[in-house]
Structure 1
């Protein structure tokens, strides 16, 4: 029997949500970070808009792969399935490791420089569920080395997506003028 390796957007969203939930993270947890980040710049932002953006981000194939990989790597480290020093490095979430941030940056880069900047803010300041994952990951037997960065990156991506949508709406409201690079 052939193994299923390709999934629809709906399946990827559902499987990502389930994988995150299995590690104690909900869509609303992630949307809360995106909401608070965007609320600093946008009046009257709606939580539901941020929630919809999180779900949209989770429907992307690259994000789906990152979520599943992050969850599995952390679970493997909890079960001590890595050998040598890499087990201790991942298990202790060594600050100099950086591979976890690389995966987070890879997710955030799908939304450009602003996505990566938003990820940096979340990664450094440990907003919302990212803070809880980081703290819980310091407890014996719990590893969230990769998950906290992927969750932060999803929140950053959703936040950036909301900003892009809002700015597109504003651009559509302004009167249309013929614009050319050669106009003086």
Structure 2
């Protein structure tokens, strides 16, 4: 097994522990791309999510973001960072910037899809964004949106027939 495959499995395990299944991310990809791809299947979307998760830069972003969320849950960050992360402060922005980096390798479709998903928050992204629980998902909701957006960009480039 190559290093990136080991990293992908670690990231999938971390996502699962935080309540995110890659099938849920694939569902978002399908919602975002099915209007443009009439023969799009869930399997095609899932394959794109798995491909995105094989990229080392994606793995690193997910691991850093999840770690920061977990440290905030345990009150192990110092102020003012602890409050910024725990409250998902509107002007914090570091969570979006970390996640946005995931989309850059997948074209303008991925970048614009990330902005759209960050605004409308569908599926598991919406579930993660709910405040008021003991869990902190400040980074995770944006990372999931970015993975879905990157996979949607990949689907668009891979399966669209244009001249």
* Shorter-chain TM band: over 0.9
- Given candidates 127, 134, 145, the residue that maps to 1:132 is 127
CA drift at 1:140 = 3.6
Post-superposition, which runs of at least 4 consecutive aligned residues in structure 1 deviate over 3 A? none
- Given candidates 161, 164, 179, the residue that maps to 2:154 is 161
Instruction: Find the counterpart in structure 2 of residue 76 from structure 1.
Output: 71
- Given candidates 134, 146, 151, the residue that maps to 1:141 is 134
Give 5+ residue unaligned stretches, structure 2: none
In the TM superposition, what whole-angstrom CA distance separates every residue of 1:82-110 from its partner, at most 9, and x where no partner exists?
11121111100011111100011111112
Highest CA radius of gyration, 1 or 2?
Answer: 1
CA distance, structure 1, for counterparts of residue 133 and residue 77 of structure 2? 17
CA drift at 1:116 = 0.7
Instruction: Find the counterpart in structure 2 of residue 3 from structure 1.
Output: none
Instruction: Find the counterpart in structure 2 of residue 150 from structure 1.
Output: 143
The 5-angstrom pairing of residues 101-112 of structure 1 reads: 101-112=96-107
Provide the TM-score with structure 1 as the length reference: 0.85
CA distance, structure 1, for counterparts of residue 108 and residue 33 of structure 2? 16
Instruction: Find the counterpart in structure 2 of residue 91 from structure 1.
Output: 86
Larger relative contact order (Cα-Cα within 8 Å, sequence gap ≥ 6): 2
Q: Secondary structure at the match of 1:84?
A: coil
Instruction: Find the counterpart in structure 2 of residue 177 from structure 1.
Output: none
CA drift at 1:43 = 1.0
Deviates more, 1:31-40 or 1:106-115: 106-115
CA drift at 1:68 = 0.6
Aligned residues: 162
Q: Secondary structure at the match of 2:25?
A: helix
In the TM superposition, what whole-angstrom CA distance separates every residue of 1:157-181 from its partner, at most 9, and x where no partner exists?
00110011112xx25xx7xxxxxxx
In the TM superposition, what whole-angstrom CA distance separates every residue of 1:117-174 from its partner, at most 9, and x where no partner exists?
0100111000110000001xx124210000000000000000110011112xx25xx7
Give 5+ residue unaligned stretches, structure 1: 1-6, 175-184
Instruction: Find the counterpart in structure 1 of residue 35 from structure 2.
Output: 40
CA drift at 1:44 = 2.0
